[in-house]
């Protein structure tokens, strides 16, 4: 499902101060699949708890100033749990309740 597109635009950025890089992605397939999985019972030791489009992870890294994939495993898990348990990002989860 990786349909991330990168556009490098030379010239004024949104704030007109410098060049800009823009990332776009059709996230609708992710959201539809997440919603479908939220309605299904998931059993077993391993279960999918979220499906995060690449463009969302890029947004998080830009906003938070953290390259979260390089965090130590425990810190990365806390970071992702905090993000996914935020009501703003509930559409990324494939299960109900807290992660």
Tens digits of residue pLDDT in 15-31: 556 666 777 888 899 99
The sign of the dihedral angle between the CA atoms of 69, 79, 81, 73 is: positive
| Position with higher pLDDT, 98 vs 78 | 78
Interior/surface letters 2-29, b for 16+ CB within 10 angstroms, e for the rest: eeeeeeeeeeeeeeeeeeeeeeebebee
Q: Which residues on adjacent β-strands are paired with residue 21?
A: 8
Convert the pLDDT of each residue in 59-91 to its tens digit. Answer: 899 899 999 999 999 999 999 999 999 999 999
Q: What is the pTM of this model?
A: 0.74
Q: Is the pLDDT of residue 6 over 60?
A: no
The answer to which of 2-11, 35-44, 90-99 has the lowest mean pLDDT is 2-11
Sequence-ordered list of residues with C-beta below 8 angstroms from that of 71, at least 6 positions apart, any chain: 79
- How high is the pLDDT of residue 2? 47
């Amino acid at each position: 499902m990786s349909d991330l597109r990168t556009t490098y635009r030379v010239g004024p950025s949104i704030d007109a101060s410098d060049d800009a890089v823009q990332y776009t992605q059709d996230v609708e397939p992710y959201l539809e699949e997440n919603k479908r999985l939220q309605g299904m019972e998931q059993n077993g030791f391993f279960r999918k708890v979220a499906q995060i489009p690449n463009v969302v992870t890029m947004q998080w890294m830009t906003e938070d100033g953290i390259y979260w994939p390089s965090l130590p495993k425990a810190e990365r898990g806390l970071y992702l749990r905090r993000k996914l348990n935020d009501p703003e990002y509930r559409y990324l989860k494939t299960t109900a309740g807290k992660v």
